Homo-oligomer: A and B are copies of this chain.
Amino acid sequence: MKNYADRLINAIEKKGNPCIVGLDPRIDQMPDFVQYKHRNQSTSDKISGAISDFHRIIINTIADIVPGVKPQVAFYEQYGLPGMKAFENTLAFAKEKGLITIVDAKRNDIGSTAQAYSNTFLGKTIIFSKKVPIYDVDCITVSPFLGEDSLMPFVKDCSEYGKGIFILVKTSNPGSVDVQDLKITETGEKVYINLAKLVKKLGKGLVGKKGYSSIGAVVGATYPNEAELLRELMANNIFLVPGYGAQGATGKDIVNCFNPDKLGAVVNASRSITYNYGPKTISEADFVKTIEKNIKDMITDVNGALDKK
């Protein structure tokens, strides 16, 4: 299916929930059995082996349950080249299992540099006169701080390659108020309202058959009042909602991110799904059961809240 928003909405409808699992490699928090398997290898192979195994197990566990995964590239990058090798492996597992891949990268830059980032994740790079896909994921998060022109290479590639972006509009952290909540003299509204209008405008040409655009917005679950307002302003844009779980938000906090059709958002949880498993001596079988329980509990909470909406 060519349109990213259609693919994502289809996956949500098929799995019956809008929950996605954030993949944040933190080797020292992984169970012992993950590290044990690679104990005789080089440090580099131990790193990529542990990260890849951990995420292969998680992906196998959740692939039939949720529509997608959100690898956070920062946590892979912090392990250098072996980390990026594991990033490639993680994406390969997720794609093989038919999961939607949303890379949390919060990238951006200007002109040809923004294009380079778009090549890396969404489009293709010209290498020795041939156009070659690099990570070829479904979607990435991007920052709007550098303005509309910095977003255009990504929007163009979303159209050309059937990809999506989530533009940061109102993030889940306390410091999001510092820039995003500044009130603008010209409009009397806050910066995030301006950004919502920009998301709406950029997304117009990329609305799929399901009525949603491939250009979406990041809106934190920790700001339900702002989410209500933003939901009205961006009726056809999908929200990526961080902040559920470890950051404190629950099912009732995320309902404002959804439309009356109970669509229009994906809710991410990372640590509360993948690192919430008890002692590191846990067996692989028990780890799998715990991950499955964690994600099913989240789905019950989120779908329960949506049912009451």
Contacts and interface: CB of A to CB of B under 8 A. Distances in A.
Interface in A131-153: 134-135, 143-150
Interface in A101-156: 104, 106-111, 113-114, 116-117, 119-120, 125-129, 134-135, 143-150
A78 interface: yes
A120 B105 CA distance: 14
Interface stretch (A92-100, A183-191, A227-235, A282-290): A183-191
A134 B186 contact: no
Within the oligomer, what is the number of copies of this chain? 2
Nearest to A121: B77
A276 to B, nearest CB: 15
Contact of A109 (B47, B106, B126): B106
A151 to B, nearest CB: 8
Interface stretch (A165-173, A209-217, A259-267): A165-173
Given A120-B77, A134-B78, A182 B186 contact: yes
Contact of A110 (B27, B150, B173): B173
Interface in A26-53: 27-28, 35, 43, 46-47
A77 B27 CA distance: 23
B182 A78 contact: no
Contact of A184 (B84, B104, B120, B185): B185
A178 interface: yes
A300 interface: no
B78 A119 contact: yes
Nearest to A106: B109
Contacts of A120: 74, 77-78, 80
A303 interface: no
Contact of A117 (B78, B80, B185): B78
A180 interface: yes
Contact of A127 (B47, B107, B127): B47
A198 B184 contact: no
B178 A147 contact: yes
A173 B147 contact: yes
Given A108-B143, A145-B145, 12 more contacts: A27-B127, A74-B116, A77-B120, A78-B134, A79-B127, A104-B109, A110-B172, A145-B180, A146-B176, A146-B179, A147-B174, A147-B177
